[in-house]
Amino acid sequence: MKTKTFTGLFIILPLAFAVLSIGCGKDEEVSDVPEPIPAQEITEPVPAVPEIGEQEIADVETPDLEAPPEPETETPVDDVPTPELEPAEEQATDDAGITDVTEEDDKALTADNFRVVSLKDLKAYPSEMTIKPGTTVEWRNENDNFQHIIGWKDQKGMGVTPEPILQGQSWSFTFTEPGVIKWFSTAKPTIHGTITVEVPKAGAE
């Protein structure tokens, strides 16, 4: 029995020693780990801004600024030369027999072969006249703001085609046959007159 007891001790002791040696090795490994160093605030020095003196500010060159160009001035209207207008022709007559009213000599208006009826203020001047065959009668719209169209009985039978007479215009017709013409204006019934064409005297050319 004693022999078995000693034999068991010899087996247990080496095992215990091995366990203790392993534990000590772990403690040594743990003790070799360095402790962490506490963090420290790192502050970098801020570079100082150099102070600029008044003299240094005065020495700074400023760029030259060009003045804006002056706006172009327009030529006043009064200074613009006005072109000279050529005088209009005194009397312009078209193929239809309508002419612009112009000032003429009184003798020309009372010539034997030319008479004028003025349409003014919605009246006719003169309203009656006696003429010789071959005389031209001209109706002139002096200032009426109406369109005058002169007509009379059997006008178409005589081959007459009247034209509108606006303000400042005229229309004429040459009477060659004896007779009495009672004319009127379409602008107003009260505008009318009488033209008597005389019978040629015997022996007259």
The pLDDT of residue 54: 53
Of the pLDDT bands very low, low, confident and very high (cuts 50, 70, 90), residue 138 is: very high
In this prediction, residue 93 has a pLDDT band, given cuts at 50, 70 and 90, of very low
* 170 pLDDT tier (thresholds 50, 70, 90): very high
**pLDDT value at position 200?**
85
Q: What is the pLDDT of residues 66-87, one digit of tens each?
A: 655 665 655 554 554 554 555 4
What's the CATH fold of domain 98-197?
Immunoglobulin-like (2.60.40)
pLDDT mean over 104-119: 73
| pLDDT score recorded for residue 59 | 54
* Least reliable range by pLDDT among 24-38, 46-60, 86-100, 149-163: 86-100
**Quick check: pTM over 0.85?**
no
Q: Which of 46-50, 152-156, 167-171 has the lowest mean pLDDT?
A: 46-50
Q: Give the per-residue pLDDT at 88.
A: 43
Q: Say which residue, 58 or 164, is predicted with more confidence.
A: 164
Domain ranges in the chain? 98-197
Q: What are phi and psi of 182, to 5 degrees?
A: -100, 100
